[in-house]
């Protein structure tokens, strides 16, 4: 028995991050053919948007997707960002989990694996290398390099196969990847829809996309305003776990745990640390690395019982109601649009978040199912479209709980409307590792409902006025067809000339309109 155990452990090898995800690619979000391709688009687009914004550049992205065979594609993704210096290229595309710092910052990134996950999927499904052309500034000189490489999953590093200097006209990165076992689709979960929604949440971006049929889509930017960069904020005592404290303890340069708490957490003064020490009986002058798990748990439990000021919200950067409206108008061209950005709130007592919402009616709002337009729910987290797992998401739950009949919508599922909701937070509470649905925290559900009902009232007023105008037009049509006949017949009976009746007719239709407006005001006052 002992020998069997020894043999077993001889076979056991420590996996690198790359090896682990090669064996468990579904944990990268790469599960299903359509979803896999959409997640590739997500990672590459997110990377390009972040890079351009950090450099103060209005993002411009070009994507070319060619089908070589059934479920076999070549994807070429090009951006106008600052580019990647040559020595960092393989680190960006071939190394998973390059950083270990605990960061509390609003981020588009979801899985944290970025482009390296795309290179790994490409290599796993086709065996083909990745090809990158990068233009970047080195001092005052514009440099260009072309590299072909593979990921060495054993070492979690890149293997350069070819490298040459090239002439480039500007900064930016172009990557070419082969994929098999993926599928392009125009469905709600497909890559095209992901781009369409990305533009609504990021109206300052321009994306040109050529699909496998050769059709070229140009999604123009609706705004020239580059959003401010979010700032890192210290986590709030009520927003941390025992695991977070242990992680901080392992990566701190502080000599005492007391100093770690005051420097790594917001709203944590020396006075509050003394309170924690008194309640828990733990010596907080000990070295951070000597902190035990059960002690960290006790500290977190004590945090939960204490009263703290609300966490700072300066690090949260919402899209903004005006920018959301621009994005919606650019893509949906609606008859009516209303947007709102709520004030910051907290969930779990210590995690700040902001809810933004928009509603569009008519035009290209909603989604076509057969020959009918049905309602469309667009869910976002930190400007990123959440394309999957809609049914289990708090945003969907909140929207479904609203009595839409009050706002002029008889049946939400069959209305020509698009409802947009974005949650901004340094710590979005996702339901699972797929990070495509938001957990039903009561504070989040309440804010989504409040934001949506506010803008739905604007839509209700618009629909009422539209209905009134339609009824007025129908009445005017009746008057315009009947009044002339009555006047002519009356003139014949009276044996008189037909009088001018245009003025009378105008007065009658205006009076009908006036009564409609008065009735509308009475209804609103009630």
Higher pLDDT: 30 or 115? It is: 115
**Rounded-to-integer distance, Cα 81 and Cα 170, Å:** 9
The three-class DSSP label of residue 72 is strand
pLDDT > 70 fraction of the chain, expressed in percent and rounded: 83
Strand-pair partners of 381 = 384, 423
**Rounded-to-integer distance, Cα 114 and Cα 376, Å:** 28
Q: Which of 115, 95, 98, 99 is nearest to 155 (CA)?
A: 95
**Rounded-to-integer distance, Cα 489 and Cα 501, Å:** 13
pLDDT at 33: 86
Please say if the pLDDT value at position 429 is more than 80.
Answer: yes
For 313-375, the DSSP string reads -TT-----HHHHHHHHHHHH--SEEEEEEPPPEEETTTEEEEEEEEEEESTT-SEEETTEEE-
Please say if the pLDDT value at position 478 is more than 80.
Answer: no
Please say if the pLDDT value at position 310 is more than 90.
Answer: no
Please say if the pLDDT value at position 525 is more than 70.
Answer: no
Average pLDDT over residues 203-228: 94
pLDDT at 497: 73
Q: How confident is the model at residue 71 (pLDDT cuts 50, 70, 90)?
A: confident
Higher pLDDT: 17 or 170? It is: 170
Higher pLDDT: 9 or 450? It is: 450
352-402: pLDDT as tens digits = 899 999 999 988 898 877 777 888 999 999 999 998 888 889 999 999 999
pLDDT > 90 fraction of the chain, expressed in percent and rounded: 40
**Rounded-to-integer distance, Cα 241 and Cα 301, Å:** 9
Residues 6 or more apart from 301 whose CB is under 8 A from it?
Answer: none
Mean of pLDDT over the chain: 83
Please say if the pLDDT value at position 24 is more than 70.
Answer: no
**pTM for the structure as a whole:** 0.78
Average pLDDT over residues 291-295: 89
Residues 6 or more apart from 493 whose CB is under 8 A from it?
Answer: none
Please say if the pLDDT value at position 522 is more than 60.
Answer: no
């Amino acid at each position: 028995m002992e020998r069997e155990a020894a043999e077993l452990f001889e076979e056991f090898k420590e996996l690198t991050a790359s090896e682990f995800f090669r064996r468990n690619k579904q944990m990268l979000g790469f599960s299903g053919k359509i979803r896999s391709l959409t997640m590739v688009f997500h990672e590459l687009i997110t990377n390009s948007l972040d890079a351009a914004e950090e450099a103060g550049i209005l993002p411009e992205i070009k994507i070319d997707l060619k089908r070589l065979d059934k479920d076999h594609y070549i994807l070429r993704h090009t951006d106008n960002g600052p580019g990647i210096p040559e020595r960092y290229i393989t680190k960006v595309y071939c190394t998973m989990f390059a950083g270990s710092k605990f960061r509390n910052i609003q981020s588009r990134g979801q899985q944290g694996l970025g482009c390296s996950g795309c290179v790994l999927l490409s290599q796993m499904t086709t065996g083909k290398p990745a090809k990158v052309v990068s233009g970047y500034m080195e001092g005052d000189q514009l440099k260009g390099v072309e590299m072909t490489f593979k990921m060495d999953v054993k070492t979690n590093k890149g293997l350069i196969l070819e490298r040459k200097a090239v002439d480039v006209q500007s900064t930016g990165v172009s990557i070419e990847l082969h994929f098999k076992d993926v599928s392009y689709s125009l469905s709600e979960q497909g890559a095209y829809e992901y781009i369409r929604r990305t533009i609504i949440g990021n109206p300052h971006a321009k994306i040109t996309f050529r699909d496998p049929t050769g059709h070229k889509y140009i999604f123009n930017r609706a705004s020239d305003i580059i959003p401010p960069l979010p700032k890192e904020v210290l986590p709030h005592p009520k927003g941390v776990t025992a695991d977070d404290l242990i992680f901080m303890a392992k990566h701190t340069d502080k000599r005492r745990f007391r100093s770690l708490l005051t420097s790594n957490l917001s709203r944590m003064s020396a006075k509050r640390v003394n309170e924690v020490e008194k309640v828990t009986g733990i010596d907080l002058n000990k070295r951070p690395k000597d902190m035990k798990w059960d002690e960290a748990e006790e500290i977190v439990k004590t945090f939960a019982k204490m009263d703290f000021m609300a966490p700072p919200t300066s690090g949260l950067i919402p899209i903004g109601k005006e920018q959301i409206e621009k994005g919606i108008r650019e893509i949906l061209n609606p008859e009516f649009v209303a947007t709102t950005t709520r004030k910051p709130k907290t969930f779990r007592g210590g995690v700040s978040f902001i809810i933004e919402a928009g509603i569009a009616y008519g035009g290209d709002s909603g989604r076509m199912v057969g020959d009918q337009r049905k309602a469309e729910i667009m869910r976002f987290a930190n400007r990123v479209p959440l394309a999957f797992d809609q049914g289990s998401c708090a945003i969907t739950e909140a929207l479904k709980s609203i009595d839409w009949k009050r706002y002029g919508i008889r049946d939400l599922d069959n209305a020509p409307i698009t409802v947009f909701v974005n949650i901004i937070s340094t710590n979005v509470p996702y339901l699972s590792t797929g990070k495509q649905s938001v957990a039903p925290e009561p504070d989040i559900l309440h804010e989504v409902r409040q934001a949506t009902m506010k803008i739905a009232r604007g839509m209700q007023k618009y629909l009422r006025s539209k209905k009134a105008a339609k009824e007025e037009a129908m009445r005017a049509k009746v008057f315009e067809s009947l009044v002339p006949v009555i006047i002519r017949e009356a003139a014949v009976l009276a044996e008189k000339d037909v009088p001018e009746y245009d003025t009378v007719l105008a007065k009658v239709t205006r009076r009908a309109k006036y009564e409609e407006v008065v009735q509308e005001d009475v209804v609103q006052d009630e």
